[in-house]
Structure 1
Amino acid sequence: MSITAAKGFEAGGGAIGIKPSGKPDIAILVTNSREAVPAAGVFTTNLATAAPVLVSKSHLADGKAAGVVLSSGNANAATGPAGRADAERMCQLAGDAFGLEASDFLVCSTGLIGYSMPMAVIEKGIPVIAANLNGGTAAADALLTTDTVRKEAVAPVGDSGAVVGGMAKGAAMLAPAMATMLAVLTTDANATHEVLQRALTDAVAKTFNQLCVDACTSTNDTVLILASGAANGPAITATEGSDYYALLDAVTSVCGSLARQMANDAEGATKVATIRITGARTDHDASLAARSVASSQLVQCSLNGEDPYWGRILSELGASGAFMDQERVTISYGEHVLCAEGIAAEHDVAAVAKLMSEREILITCDLALGYGEAEMICTDLSYAYIDENRGTS
């Protein structure tokens, strides 16, 4: 499972010295043809936008890219004009290695904010990695910072013979506006930039944007997709019809798998909870309610303590901005109703305690007002998370 599962792409990664630990820190993806192909991206909403995001947005203006160069260990954020020049230089180095223009490459970085890029090692290192493209798994390994495992996924595009493959990093600063995360997807489906942009935007909204670990949105969040068309399938030129929806389903599946892997690898996490809202007046209200519960530090602490304290959830529902009648609300942990019509309900205490000891927990909140639904994924707030982040990391 990797970004090279789709035909038409090569990738590699390795260590060039950005990270003091000596772990892998540069990844490169490039088309086999060494030509630009349709591409699309979704980027951070943080106004303290990192230099690589600014450069990638600029290079995507024509809706095409031939590759991506990614670094980990330094975010190249809050680095001013020099940082943007460094990001452009990374694209130039990658372009030179493959006989392409700098503008044919997109660039992503992740790591510490406010530090200049170590360009001396980057100048030497990118050509070395480019000359030894050792596979998609090596590229996925090179993205990791505080992650403990690589994150990869693949899904078929219906029965067209095409696939979507992806890799991602993310273990902290995961919030409902993407995360401290980078993700790169590839497909050998034959899709236009406009189709890719719509599919990626919709998929991100349903997956990465429904993930919350610590309610922090990063300066560098980026999700990219490139389409080689090498599967020789039907041309997908409109955001409708069976071919488009097959592509959308595959992109959503890969993004969803990567998001779930990120939640399971979240810093210090011992629990992964799905917050499901049903019966809201509208889907928008359901989303507001789910987001409020998932991002609540009190709820996250209760998860860590294996305490089914539904009162905190009811409070977050009421404060979420979603319309709510507390006398209609039902809150369930798994199949066990703990709150019915806004008040405590009798339940099997031992069975709920067993449920709370499990790693994955479903919490359902039925507002009983309409048909609006939403889900978010969150994790617990642990001592290990605090220990990881009490200093610069």
Structure 2
Amino acid sequence: MSVTAPQGFEAAGVSAGLKSTGKPDVAVIVNRGPRDTAAAVFTSNRAQANPIMWSKQAISDGSARAIVLNSGGANCFTGSFGFQTTHQTAERAAELLGIGAIDVLVCSTGLIGTGDETFRTRVLDGTERAIAALAADGGERAAAAIMTTDTVPKTAVRARDGWTIGGIAKGAGMLAPGLATMLVVLTTDADLTPEAADAQLRAATRTTFDRLDSDGAMSTNDQVTLLASGASGIVPEPDAFGEELQALCLDLAAQLMRDAEGASHDIRIEVVGAASEDDAVVVGRSVARNNLFKTAIFGNDPNWGRVLAAIGTTDAEFDPYDVDVTINGVRVCTQGGPDRPRDEVDLAPRDTHVLIDLRVGPDAATIMTNDLTHAYVHENSAYSS
């Protein structure tokens, strides 16, 4: 049931005609309380969609009762008309739910730079019909309604000590971090203060969604939202809640990676022996964003030279001639030179593990990415057609 697994939540997903396929494209998730705690992290892209601008204002007090999401249009670079559309969406939802517009968050995803009266009418109509269809088992329909080029919905649930966390996510391309990645809604019936929710969300996204780097392209619409109803009546032990939230976010991030546009390999780039965690992240991300490395993996070529070339572009602390590289359990490079023969590496499986040992310190980090395929190029060459 994903976002409706925790007590106190209802959700729905309907088709409003935003997609030519007729598939669901508007979702509404409502927190019935008693708490209305909310926290969110947003894209750090300076180019931000109208829903991001609205939601930043709406959540500034640490509370929200509902979130409206649409696929089939990003409502970005649509001027004052677009912001009015977002505002009217929140107002329409608020009127129907008997709450204030400032208690409604809005998210959109789809093609940038398009939006007209038809788009607005369909979003408002979809919001009305989704609210009329709200149900305690509507989480799966909401997950389907936020999909764009996704091939499957992404959902997850965790439960512990009498409280539950649920989540849905969308994203298949334009997956690069900036505090958040893609559209994600997390719900919990744990009793959290706004300060606790914000701290827990930021800690979880930092090591999960923020470590997912599919194609180096940061969206204008990225938002991860946590809503807490408090309906369980339980104030969770912070470490326990943080552990479960991190696990749930990691689960969703892995689902996003597996469904990346056209990908044939899911790649975990694990960097160890770093002087700092930041260094490990920088090194891992340099490999994740290197097209030569990504095409090599697509071609089942364990070309470790491309790994060293990529990490050599960073300012992280290490000696390029004292680095080990292991691919799928075979150490192909040691101390900056050849080790085991490349033909010992089996890259046929979809899951691919690259281990980089910088040999200078105690810190580590893992970046999740995928290969660069013909299918990815084809998908994005015709995205707006």
Interval of TM-score (by shorter of Structure 1 and Structure 2)? over 0.9
Q: Which residue is 1:163 aligned to?
A: 164
3-state SS in 2 of match to 1:191: coil
Q: Structure 1 stretch 299-308 or stretch 316-325: which is displaced more?
A: 316-325
3-state SS in 1 of match to 2:260: coil
Q: Which residue is 2:194 aligned to?
A: 193
- What is the CA-CA distance between 1:125 and the residue it aligns to? 2.5
Decide whether the 8 Å contact of 1:167 with 1:184 is kept in 2: yes
3-state SS in 2 of match to 1:82: helix
Q: Which residue is 2:280 aligned to?
A: 286
Q: Which residue is 1:213 aligned to?
A: 214
Q: Which residue is 1:303 aligned to?
A: 297
3-state SS in 1 of match to 2:221: coil
In structure 2, stretches of 5+ residues that fail to align are none
- What is the CA-CA distance between 1:36 and the residue it aligns to? 6.3
3-state SS in 2 of match to 1:53: helix
- What is the CA-CA distance between 1:202 and the residue it aligns to? 1.1
- Does 1:17 find its partner at 2:9? no
- What is the CA-CA distance between 1:179 and the residue it aligns to? 6.6
Moved over 4 A (4+): none
Decide whether the 8 Å contact of 1:179 with 1:217 is kept in 2: no
Q: Which residue is 2:31 aligned to?
A: 31
- Does 1:384 find its partner at 2:375? yes
**Whole-Å separation in 1 of the counterparts to 2:290 and 2:206:** 20
- What is the CA-CA distance between 1:178 and the residue it aligns to? 5.7
Q: Which residue is 1:61 aligned to?
A: 60
- What is the CA-CA distance between 1:15 and the residue it aligns to? 0.2
Decide whether the 8 Å contact of 1:176 with 1:291 is kept in 2: no
User: Which amino acid letter does the alignment assign opposite residue 13 of structure 2?
Assistant: G
**Whole-Å separation in 1 of the counterparts to 2:254 and 2:383:** 26
User: Which amino acid letter does the alignment assign opposite residue 286 of structure 2?
Assistant: S
Alignment of 1:228-239 (within 5 A): 228-234=229-235
Q: Which residue is 2:147 aligned to?
A: 144
**Whole-Å separation in 2 of the counterparts to 1:339 and 1:348:** 9
- What is the CA-CA distance between 1:101 and the residue it aligns to? 1.5
User: Which amino acid letter does the alignment assign opposite residue 134 of structure 2?
Assistant: L
Cα RMSD after superposing both structures = 1.4
**Whole-Å separation in 2 of the counterparts to 1:174 and 1:163:** 27
Q: Which residue is 2:366 aligned to?
A: 375
1:316 counterpart (298, 310, 316): 310
Q: Which residue is 1:342 aligned to?
A: 336
Alignment of 1:73-152 (within 5 A): 73-117=72-116, 118-134=119-135, 135-152=138-155
**Whole-Å separation in 1 of the counterparts to 2:38 and 2:89:** 19
- What is the CA-CA distance between 1:347 and the residue it aligns to? 3.4
Decide whether the 8 Å contact of 2:18 with 2:71 is kept in 1: yes
**Whole-Å separation in 1 of the counterparts to 2:167 and 2:202:** 15
**Whole-Å separation in 1 of the counterparts to 2:317 and 2:127:** 53
3-state SS in 2 of match to 1:323: coil
In structure 1, stretches of 5+ residues that fail to align are 237-242
3-state SS in 1 of match to 2:71: strand
**Whole-Å separation in 2 of the counterparts to 1:23 and 1:65:** 28
- What is the CA-CA distance between 1:197 and the residue it aligns to? 0.5
User: Which amino acid letter does the alignment assign opposite residue 78 of structure 1?
Assistant: F
Q: 1:25-74 CA deviation, whole Å, 9 max, x = no partner?
A: 000001235x7601000001011110000101111121100010000010
Decide whether the 8 Å contact of 1:173 with 1:179 is kept in 2: no
User: Which amino acid letter does the alignment assign opposite residue 168 of structure 1?
Assistant: A
Identity %: 41
Q: Structure 1 stretch 320-329 or stretch 193-202: which is displaced more?
A: 320-329
Decide whether the 8 Å contact of 1:179 with 1:218 is kept in 2: no
Decide whether the 8 Å contact of 2:284 with 2:367 is kept in 1: yes
- What is the CA-CA distance between 1:175 and the residue it aligns to? 1.1
**Whole-Å separation in 2 of the counterparts to 1:233 and 1:392:** 46
3-state SS in 2 of match to 1:274: strand
Q: Which residue is 1:249 aligned to?
A: 243
- What is the CA-CA distance between 1:180 and the residue it aligns to? 6.0
Q: Which residue is 1:49 aligned to?
A: 48
Shift in CA distance, 127/115, structure 1 to aligned 2, threshold 3 Å = same
2:354 counterpart (360, 363, 376): 363
3-state SS in 1 of match to 2:46: coil
3-state SS in 2 of match to 1:301: helix
- Does 1:330 find its partner at 2:324? yes
Shift in CA distance, 122/176, structure 1 to aligned 2, threshold 3 Å = closer
Decide whether the 8 Å contact of 2:268 with 2:354 is kept in 1: yes
**Whole-Å separation in 2 of the counterparts to 1:89 and 1:189:** 31
**Whole-Å separation in 1 of the counterparts to 2:379 and 2:100:** 40
